[in-house]
Amino acid sequence: MRAYVPDYELVAPPDLRSALETMASEPGAWRPIAGGTDLMVLFEAGRLPFHKLLSIWKLDELRGIDVTPESITVGALTSYTQILQHAILQREFPLLTKAASWTGGVATQNRGTLAGNIANASPAADSPPALLVYDAQLELVSAAGSRTIPYNGFHTGYKRTQMRPDELIARIRLPRSNRNWHHFTRKVGTRKAQAISKVCLAAVAELDGITFKEVRIALGSVAPTVIRCPRTEAFLTGKSINNETIVGAKETIVSEVQPITDIRSTADYRLRVTANVVEQFLLWTKFHACCGSSRWADAMADGAQDPWWNLEEKDWLEAFASHPKIGEKPVNDAVATQEQKSIGGASPKILAALAEGNRIYFEKFGYIYIVCATGKSGEEMLATLRERLFNDPGSEIRIAAEEQQKITALRLEKFSA
Amino acid sequence: MHNHAVGTPVPRKEGAEKVTGRAQYVDDLHMPNMIHGTTVRSQIARGKIHNITFAEGVPWDEFTIVTAADTPGKNAVTLILDDQPFLANGIINHPEEPVVLLAHPDKGLLEKARTLLHIDIEPLTPIFSIEESERREQIIWGDDNLFKNFLIEKGDLDSVWAQAAYIVEDEYRTGAQEQLYIEPQGMIALANPAEGITIWGSMQCPYYIQKALLSLFPLPPEKIRIIQMETGGGFGGKEEYPSILAGHAALLSWKSGRPVKMIYDRAEDMSATTKRHPSRSRLKTAVAKDGKLLGIDFQFDIDGGAYATLSAVVLSRGTIHACGPYYFPNVRVTSRAFATNSPPHGAFRGFGAPQSIFAMERHMDKIAGVIGITPEEIRRRNFLKPGQTTSTGQTVRENVDLNQILDRALALSDYHRKRAEFAEKNKGRATKKGIGFASFMHGAGFTGSGERYLQSVVAVEATREGRVRVLSSSTEIGQGTNTIFSQIAADALGIGYDQIDVGRPDTAEVPNSGPTVASRTCMVVGKLVESAAIGLKQTLVNSGILKQEYTPKEFRQACAAYIDKFGMLKSTTQYEAPPGIYWDDEKYQGDAYGAYAWAVYVADVSVDTRTWEVQIDDFVALQEVGRVIHPVLAKGQIEGGVAQGIGYALYEGVTWKDGRMINNQMTNYIMPTSADIPPIRVFFEEIPYAYGPLGAKGIGELPMDGPAPAILNAIENATGASVNEIPLLPEMLMELVHA
Amino acid sequence: MPDAITFTVNGTQRTINDHPMSRLLDVLRETLSLTGTKEGCGEGECGACSVLIDGELVNSCLVPLLQVDGAHVTTIEGVSAYKIQKAFLDEGGAQCGICTPGMIMATVHLLKRNPNPDEQQIRDGLAGNLCRCTGYTRIFEAVREAIKPR
């Protein structure tokens, strides 16, 4: 413990307003401290340059996760634990909840805060790449008022931000959408837990088949700040995922990063791994467009031949859940629309029976009715559904898995053409 | 003799204290009037001290200040060569070398003072590698930078090269490794000329500390009392280093007149204390057409750092273990321990053997590849058989069947099926799988005449209530000393495990049973415990107070009767070398160890060729250990050793800059977490060793030898990349594959 | 001089006048003489200093005293963990014992959040607690033993 405690001053303002007033009264003199998982480490190493600390830990105005149809707003002091446990964040912003689960261990996750991760401004922080691809916005507050700025651009240089000395991050806003995003992230660290990243990639992609409609890629630990990759994003937009695209994307991403050699890794390693992880992202996304099981896509991207039957039931269920119900109009899913087009001519009576059948099926088995729709009429699919309703759960899930495999195979074939 | 405790998973003797947080480690102890101490160290590797200045900022007159000038006796740490000073005396030979000691009641102010004390050093040219040291452009130690060298010869090596069908040559390197016990080093000293010295601390060898303080202070041994507190891990890192810390705390106490507590923080502990010796091995092997090994030329060199410490003994063990469990008719092992300007390296579990065994086991796979046979086959054709001799000419006398041990390990790990499956499944995959193994042996106890020289003593004493106390200087550092001694004594006496107490290692209370090192605690000292207990029983029986066959209740009654009559019931035993062990220190030949444990470890790995990260998916550790005294403790030893071996192989790299360890924080020195460790499956075989307690051999260090070569052999199987250096970080693997 | 800080430790309310920036670890060990919580690294990596604050596992070496004002702190001395402690004893989960208090606190916390964790959840739940002696295997056994119904 290399700090001389009496040299420091730590006070806890009773509320946000007095905190901001204190900061405004002596701009730059007071450093806010939340959970302490970064600042206390520096303090104990004798390397904390700030001697006046303002504890904002108890300011509940800065806590809470607020959900509206348009966005999820995360309070600055939301801990990693609170983030990774939040059901809607898990579903709609999985890269953020994954990043939260990768940060330190449980004890760090209970004390570390999202705003702390942002304000500490390390290019190796775990949450920022996810925030960048989710187009997060920051609400900054001061005694003078508040302003909302995009997170992209917040970091202006190594450990430098756009924040004024009298400002605090109050909230992080994540815009929601009902677009069909594929979410991919990989952190390459020194070990599996409690590791500072050497390369960290977060990406989201919206596809038409396997052609990119929109893609957002962010990287950590390969530049003085976390970065989006506009050149690579532009390169990929409108392109199909194939070998040529992959080669081009790898070349482009390498031109956007400036990795260094430091105590954790080498520039050369970071460069190669960045390119390799981008390739992995592209392959994974292509396969994920064929089948909604993340682990199946992982295995296929790895080069596996036919991993479907080596997966667990939970992986199959994940794949099933990515489909719209048979007979329901798929939303934002051109591929499913195409696959179900043979239903197109079905009568309203058949469609209603299918909807009812779907409901009963879901009630019995807990997942939606999966059938390879290509070339089948509404009546055929309804008949099959009614037959399969009599199956026991153990047999039925295998049948559903077989149907999923057929769907996957058709998609793979179609996308390879 | 009843056999109830040995072999059964009795509860750890001091376990209840540990799981409730009541166990007392040195930093948990407070004394009235106690002050804190700290060390001011050199920031550069080599130079002449010109000046010490005390900058303004703290009230210096409140501090106790100690330099080399304040040493009452000899400023040299007694160990082997006594070349290391407690405090630098004008000359700096390594970064972090201690120069000034400070003490003050306020721990925070003390740290501030440490940063305000400046040592002015005129730099000299330092050297940091074995290569630089052997070039001898800079002489930094003795006449030739050489702490020690050995030569082992057998047969006529020079004659085999001409006959060899294959000559396989390569070089292997291992890096430094930090012991990383979770409890940092710490001592409390109360020292004054009138009453003498008492030390409480985290340590493995109380009598080593006593010996070291004997020449530092003008006091007789009875006035230097060393008491071991509960110790949070040692692994060799608390074998010799604690003597220095104890000396420092004692010097501050001597000068201040108050008890002084010195606890290292993690950064200081990592950068200033000892580490595993880095090594370089150059092997050249002559192999016959049928795969039989004809001869080996093994050059084994280690980097000892700035002072000799235990380098001679580390070198010795590495030298003797170099040739592995194979029969070589012709051998030359030349080994050297070099001086460099790094902080001195020291004991760490395995003690030279992990280094040379790494080279040998990688080399065996290499030989197999060159001559076109499998790694398995090359071993089978060359395993030592009973009746054959090792590199030092020791005849294998026990009925060990290494082929059978290999069979079993390969079956347990599903080796053949996996090897075939991986070869098929790896095609086109980014993640490649591989499986590899290492076969090895580890000698327990001190080498050759070492045990005889130690003359270890153990006492066993009974109370009126019939409780029996084991008195030895062997320390509990997590490995289970207290528990196994209690088991052994209980069974030898035919009484309950709960009737046994183990006395705290306090030099005022226990005899010198030798250090807690070298995997000797169970095999050598445990045997003495057994003998002393039997001696106690015999005393009672011979006195007529106790019958030959008795119940525990009768035993208790007999203790009371005996003590009432004679005043005390105590039995003391001293080590006697087993018969038939001959060792020639001059020629370095003969029976190096009383017993070897034999092992085969198998590692199943995945290598992600996108990031070059290696994950171990399954690990099988099979070893023959004589007798398993405590099944849970024995498994725990192997599992813990394997985890350290995995760290040695894949994660734990020391980053050096100008001789200093700069990744001296737990965030940057990477130890495996619970998320990184594979399932470790441990299995035992038992060929009882006649001179171990109930047949037991030593196992503490054995598990350190196997994991690194097994893992690298597996990585080669997975990727084709033949790596000769550890730690193998992903950056290095990537570079090698892309080179 | 800043105001005293009042918090509950193992069910007992304490008022502490130490500097607000004092590490909770030091307040526990030095001021309150609760030495069961250990310092292994002083950088939040090893978990030997783990305690519960309002039921949440934290590294006490990273918590400044000021921030526990009004909180409930539980240390190894006050935690109710008999079944876990017994399992650690039976399965060899403690060797040198220095990581053990923190490891037990982390296990208490894990099982409170998830009374029936699978293998991966056990590993993840304990990933912030380093053990150099056991290689973790016996610790996992201990946790598996502790979650078995009596």
Same domain, C95 and C32: no
Distance from CA of A266 to the nearest CA of B (A): 7
pLDDT(B1) > 50 = no
Q: Could you count the other beta carbons within 10 Å of the beta carbon of residue B699? A: 26
| Residue-wise burial string across A128-142, b where 16 or more C-beta atoms lie within 10 A, e elsewhere | bbbbbbbbbbbbbbb
Judged by CB atoms within 8 Å, which residues 20-79 of C form the interface with A? 20-23, 26, 42-45, 47, 50, 56-59, 61-64, 66-67, 69
Contacts of C124 in chain B (CB under 8 A): 675
Closest Cα of chain C to B342: distance in Å? Answer: 23
pTM of the model: 0.97
Q: Is B674 on the interface with A (CB under 8 A)?
A: yes
> The tokens of B726 are what?
């550890």
Neighbours of chain C (3+ CB pairs under 8 A): A, B
Residue C50 and residue C95 in one domain: no
Mean pLDDT of B361-385: 98
Residue A355 pLDDT > 60: yes
| Start and end residues for every CATH 3.30.43 domain found in chain A | 5-57
In this predicted structure, what is the pLDDT of residue B3? 63
- Alpha-carbon dihedral sign for residues B229, B230, B232, B237: positive
Tokens matching residue C111: 């099982």
What CATH number has the domain spanning A5-57? Answer: 3.30.43
Domain with CATH 1.10.3330.10 in chain A: 306-416
CB-side exposure of B265: number of CA atoms within 13 Å?
A: 19
Task: Say which CATH class A179-290 falls into.
Answer: alpha beta
From C21, C62, C127, residue closest to A111, measured CB to CB: C62
Please name the residue that has the structure tokens 């499998």. Answer: B374
Please report how many Cα atoms fall inside a 13 Å half-sphere around the Cα of residue B636, on the Cβ side. Answer: 28
CATH number for the domain harbouring residue C139: 1.10.150.120
Q: Which residues contact C57 (CB under 8 A, 6 or more apart)?
A: A106, A107, A110, C50, C51, C105, C106, C109, C128
As given in the structure block, the two tokens for residue B348 are: 């760490």
In sequence order, which residues have a C-beta less than 8 Å from that of residue B182 and are 6 or more positions away?
B232, B233, C38, C40, C46, C48, C96, C98, C99, C130, C131, C132
Which chains neighbour B (Cβ–Cβ under 8 Å, 3 or more pairs)?
Answer: A, C
Say if CB B666 and CB C43 are below 8 A apart.
yes
On chain C, the residues whose CB falls within 8 A of the CB of B231 are: 96
Average pLDDT over residues B25-51: 97
Q: Which of C78, C109, C138 is the last residue before a domain boundary? A: C78
In order of B278, B331, B723, B732, the CA distances from B129 in angstroms are 9, 27, 20, 19
Contact B359, B322 (CB under 8 A): yes
Q: Which residue has the tokens 């309310």?
A: C13
Q: What phi and psi, each to the nearest 5 degrees, are found at residue C75?
A: -115, 180
H/E segment holding residue B250:
helix B241-256
Contacts of C96 in chain B (CB under 8 A): 181-183, 230-234, 477-478
C73 with C101, same domain: the answer is: no
- C18 & C68 share domain: yes
Please indicate whether, in this complex, the C-beta atoms of A106 and C125 are within 8 angstroms of each other.
yes
Q: Is A264 on the interface with B (CB under 8 A)?
A: yes
Tell me what ipTM this predicted complex has.
0.98
d(CA C88, CA B718): 37
Task: Encode B612-667 in three state secondary structure.
Answer: CEEEEEEEEEEEECCCCCCHHHHHHHHHHHHHHHHHHHHHCCCCEECCEECCCCCC
Residue A330 has pLDDT above 80, yes or no: no
Token pair in block for residue B339: 């001086």
Counting beta carbons within 10 angstroms of the beta carbon of residue A398, is it exposed (0 to 12), middle (13 to 18) or buried (19 or more)? middle
Q: Please name the helix (run of DSSP H) or strand (run of DSSP E) that holds residue B199, with its range, or none.
A: strand B196-201
Same domain, C139 and C95: yes
Q: What is the dihedral of CA B427, B433, B439, B444, to 10 degrees?
A: 170
DSSP secondary structure code for residue B158 in this structure: G
pLDDT in tens, A140-183: 999 999 999 999 999 999 999 999 999 999 999 999 998 999 99
Kindly state the DSSP code that residue B62 receives in the 8-state scheme. G
Q: Which residue has the tokens 């109050």?
A: A170
Instruction: Supply B68's token pair.
Output: 């080399």
Model confidence band, residue B386 (pLDDT cutoffs 50, 70, 90): very high
The amino acid present at A320, given as its one-letter code, is F
State how far residue B84 is from chain A, nearest Cα, in angstroms: 28
Do C56 and A110 count as a contact with CB atoms less than 8 A apart?
Answer: yes
* Strands A9-11 and A52-55, sheet pairing: parallel
First CA to last CA distance, chain B? 64
Same domain, C14 and C73: yes
Nearest to C87 by CA among C141, C133, C131: C141
Confidence of residue A337 (pLDDT cuts 50, 70, 90): confident
Q: What local confidence, expressed as pLDDT, does residue A339 receive?
A: 81
C98 and C129 belong to one structural domain? yes
pLDDT grade for B2, boundaries at 50, 70 and 90: low
| Burial (CB count within 10 angstroms: exposed 0-12, middle 13-18, buried 19+), residue B579 | exposed
Supply the DSSP string of B572-608, one letter for each residue: EEE--PPTT--EETTTTEE---SEEEEEEEEEEEEEE
pLDDT of residue A63: 97
- Kindly state the tokens that stand for B451: 């045990």
Query: Which residue, among B210, B454, B216, has the nearest Cα to B313 in the 3D structure?
Result: B454
Q: What pLDDT, on a 0 to 100 scale, did the predictor assign at position A333?
A: 79
Residue type, C123: R
- Expressed as residue numbers, the domain containing C38 is 3-78
C-alpha closest to that of B678 among B488, B479, B497, B413: B413
Q: How many domains does chain C have?
A: 2
Q: Which amino acid is at B99?
A: V
Task: Please indicate, yes or no, whether residues C74 and C8 belong to a single structural domain of this protein.
Answer: yes
Write down the residue that tokens 């599996």 correspond to: A192
B249 close to B209: Cβ distance less than 8 angstroms: no
Identify the CATH number of the domain in which residue C10 sits.
3.10.20.30
Beta pairing class for B583-584 and B589-590: antiparallel
End-of-domain residue from the set C46, C61, C78: C78
Three-state SS for chain A is CCCCHHHCEEECCCCHHHHHHHHHHCCCCCEEECCCCCHHHHHHCCCCCCCEEEECCCCHHHCCEEECCCEEEEECCCEHHHHHHCHHHHHHCHHHHHHHHHCCCHHHHHHCEHHHHHHCCCCCCCCHHHHHHCCCEEEEEECCEEEEEECCCCEEECCEECCCCCCEEEEEEEECCCCCEEEEEEEEECCCCCCCEEEEEEEEEEEECCEEEEEEEEEECCCCCCEECHHHHHHHCCCECCHHHHHHHHHHHHHHCCCCCCCCCCHHHHHHHHHHHHHHHHHHHHHHHHCCCHHHHHHHHHCCCCCHHHCCHHHHHHHHHCCCCCCCCCCCCHHHHHHHHHHCCCCHHHHHHHHHHHHHHHHHHCCCCCCCCCCCCHHHHHHHHHHHCCCCHHHHHHHHHHHHHHHHHHHHHHHHC
Domain boundary among C51, C78, C105: C78
- The rounded mean pLDDT for chain B is 97
Higher pLDDT, B424 or A330: B424
Distances (CA, A) of B397 to B394, B420, B534, B594: 9, 37, 27, 10
The burial of B508, by beta-carbon neighbours within 10 Å (0-12 exposed, 13-18 middle, 19 or more buried), is given as exposed
d(CA A398, nearest CA chain B) in Å: 25
Contacts of B603 in chain C (CB under 8 A): none
Rg value, chain C, Cα: 15
Q: Is A50 on the interface with B (CB under 8 A)?
A: no
- What pLDDT, on the 0 to 100 scale, is given for residue A151? 98
Q: Please give the pLDDT value at position C2.
A: 58
**CA torsion sign, B22 to B23 to B26 to B30?**
positive
Query: Which CATH class for the A306-416 domain?
Result: mainly alpha
Mutate to test the interface with C, among B30, B106, B178, B182 (most CBs of C within 10 A): B182
**Chain A CB within 8 Å of residue B651 CB:** yes
Number of neighbouring beta carbons within 10 Å of residue B29 = 17
Mean of the pLDDT values across residues B228-248? 98
Tracing tokens 């070990």 back to the chain, one arrives at: A191
Mean pLDDT computed over B392-404:
96
C8 with C73, same domain: the answer is yes
On whether both C94 and C122 belong to a single domain, the answer is yes
Residues C89 and C72 in one domain: no
Across residues B555-582, what is the average pLDDT?
Answer: 95
B175-199 in b/e burial notation, b at 16+ Cβ within 10 A?
bbbbbbbbbbbbbbbbbeeeebbbb
The stretches in chain C having pLDDT less than 70 are 1-2
Residues C86 and C123 in one domain: yes
- C21: DSSP letter: T
For C58, the token pair is 């934290």
